Structure 1
Amino acid sequence: MKPQLLKHGIALTLLAACGCAAHAADWSDTSIGYRYGTKYAEPFNTKDISKSIVNLTSASGYKYGKNFLNVDLLMSDDADPSSAGAKSGAHEAYVVYRHTLDLGKVMGQSFAAGPVRGLGATAGFDYNTKTDAGYNSKKRMVVAGPTLMLDVPGFLDVSLFALWESNAPYSTFSQTATPRYSYKVHPMLTAAWGIPFNVGIPLSFEGFANFIGSKGKNEFGGDTASETNIDMQIMYDLSAAVGAGKNTFKVGLEYQYWKNKFGNSDHGNPGATAKTPMIRAEYHF
């Protein structure tokens, strides 16, 4: 099957899954969050960048699987300028959607074995747009692959995805638009988790880890590097302290380690690896 046809097929499958799930949600969790840090990094930028990030997250489950949607609005300070010479910071929107079909529920049989609770098939997409001085990313990516659902308190999903990624940046320095360029199909081993625990106060360990293979040549003919992106947080459920229902208000500390960001090697390019502590707050409804 041609890659373009495969991508269209996955997109149609996602639309169908969204339509089915929207009518039969068994549970859902929607939240608005805010996080802030002063040590963000961007490739080819030697400065520490402060960012405020507002996010909308929605997770839901239905008879045959579950959905996850996250929208981040990222607002940089002027260390990551919105255009060449600007005193204002760049703005970015980044959208992630995943749908996991629980194969055990679909087929009416159990795939539980040892630490594995179930087996799923996951598909989804990433979408971003950014206004900044140099690159102005317009990433489009489709993902698909198998998922192991592990038997832990809360959840821990481990997936192996194929990634179909493209971009069409615009340089404000040279005022040059790059036609949409598709990278080589490449793999990603990924984990996502949310594990509650209690040490006298209600806490949870949450986050994701992505290990992404090289995507071949970039749109300018250079080699790309493998990426490691680990983002994790310890969250405190302070809902009881303010008289709200469980898991309504959460606050915590977050840390992100992102090596070779977006496939840019950090060899001679220190901005391509970020080590970013953050504070985080969420309201769930």
Structure 2
Amino acid sequence: MKSILCGLALAGGVLASAQASAGEWLQWQSNSLTYLWGKDFAVDPETQQTFTFEHADSWKYGDNFLFVDSIHYQGKKSASAGNSTLYGEFSPRLSASKVFGQPFAYGPVSDVLLAMTYEFGEGDVESYLIGPGFDLKVPGFDYFQLNFYKRYTDGPRAGDNVWQITPVFSYTVPMGKSDVLIDGYIDWVIGNDANDHGDYHANLHVNPQIKYDLGKALSLGEKQLYVGIEYDYWKDKYGIKDTPYFDTNQNTASLLVKVFF
């Protein structure tokens, strides 16, 4: 466990140092480590604990988001599952407003972007996503993004050449001397049950975190230490159609501790 945390922290430090060396190109950055524990997961082993490194930044021509999950299975395991696995996503976006030096905004749209995502992990899990993205001004929200992707996969992996719609959001609720932060994303993948890479059913993944700013409540500094839960609802997980014989609908929550550095 210590080696995992050290590895994730080292990766974050290297990335942060590389970004900082860009000088005026980097506008802001954020790095964090999260620990999750939960059960009642579908398809994969039911009980899991996860260590997550996250990085987000805004730079001269766009923004980036990266996360890497180290997932550890506990208890009952499927025949194909080992004790752990790695999974991550890198999502760079290029801003039309920043690239062309003039605002691309109209009504609730505050910016237009070229959105991309690279999904990676152990085994045959590579996917490449590209499409238009929009930053929206939604009252009350800290930010609200709406990205439209065309998905492309390598090799025999299902889900090639289908569309995905991904809202990303953050909302802060004041509570006493601290705040509750609700942030996360929704992935709605439009399936293609007869594509060239095998059956792939439409699926919906709703994954918000509900976190209390414990650091602010204890006067240790705001936006540094959070506790809460991560809710995970996934209908037809991995594009596998739910049946009476194989449950692929996931509805669970994990305990969460998150530290920013």
TM-score (norm. length: structure 2): 0.83
1:124 CA drift (Å): 2.1
Q: Secondary structure at the match of 2:102?
A: coil
Matched, 1:71 2:68: yes
1:251 CA drift (Å): 0.8
Q: 1:142 to 1:128 in 2, by over 3 A?
A: same
Identity of aligned residues (%): 24
Q: Secondary structure at the match of 1:35?
A: strand
Matched, 1:206 2:173: no
Q: 1:25 to 1:215 in 2, by over 3 A?
A: farther
- Separation (CA, whole Å) in 1 of partners of 2:251 and 2:63: 31
TM-score (norm. length: structure 1): 0.77
1:237 CA drift (Å): 0.8
**Aligned with 1:101 (options 89, 94, 99):** 94
- Separation (CA, whole Å) in 2 of partners of 1:246 and 1:140: 37
Given that 2:159 and 2:191 are in contact with CA atoms closer than 8 Å, whether structure 1 keeps it comes out as: no
Matched, 1:52 2:86: no
Aligned to 2:152: 164
Q: Secondary structure at the match of 1:105?
A: helix
Q: 1:138 to 1:78 in 2, by over 3 A?
A: farther
Given that 2:54 and 2:66 are in contact with CA atoms closer than 8 Å, whether structure 1 keeps it comes out as: yes
1:148-187 per-residue CA deviation (whole Å, 9 max, x = no partner) reads 10114421110110000235xxxxxxxxxxxx45653110
1:110 CA drift (Å): 1.7
C-alpha RMSD over aligned residues: 2.4
- Separation (CA, whole Å) in 2 of partners of 1:241 and 1:50: 31
- Separation (CA, whole Å) in 1 of partners of 2:197 and 2:189: 20
- Separation (CA, whole Å) in 2 of partners of 1:159 and 1:27: 21
- Separation (CA, whole Å) in 1 of partners of 2:245 and 2:196: 18
1:218-260 per-residue CA deviation (whole Å, 9 max, x = no partner) reads 7885x32101000012111111234422211011122111011
Q: 1:183 to 1:40 in 2, by over 3 A?
A: closer
Q: Secondary structure at the match of 1:229?
A: strand
Matched, 1:124 2:117: yes
Q: Secondary structure at the match of 1:112?
A: coil
Q: How many matched pairs? A: 239
Aligned to 2:83: 90
Q: Secondary structure at the match of 2:252?
A: strand
1:214 CA drift (Å): 1.3
Higher mean alpha-carbon deviation, 190-199 vs 238-247, is at 238-247
1:268 CA drift (Å): 2.7
Aligned to 2:202: 226
Aligned to 1:254: 230
1:6-57 per-residue CA deviation (whole Å, 9 max, x = no partner) reads xxxxxxxxxxxxx9997221111100001111111117xxxx7110010000
1:109 CA drift (Å): 2.0
Matched, 1:239 2:227: no
Given that 2:125 and 2:157 are in contact with CA atoms closer than 8 Å, whether structure 1 keeps it comes out as: no
Matched, 1:146 2:132: yes
Aligned to 1:4: none
Larger relative CO (CA 8 A, sep 6+): 1 or 2? 1
Q: 1:239 to 1:256 in 2, by over 3 A?
A: same
What letter is aligned with 1:138? D
Aligned to 2:43: 42
Given that 1:21 and 1:62 are in contact with CA atoms closer than 8 Å, whether structure 2 keeps it comes out as: no
Q: Secondary structure at the match of 2:247?
A: helix
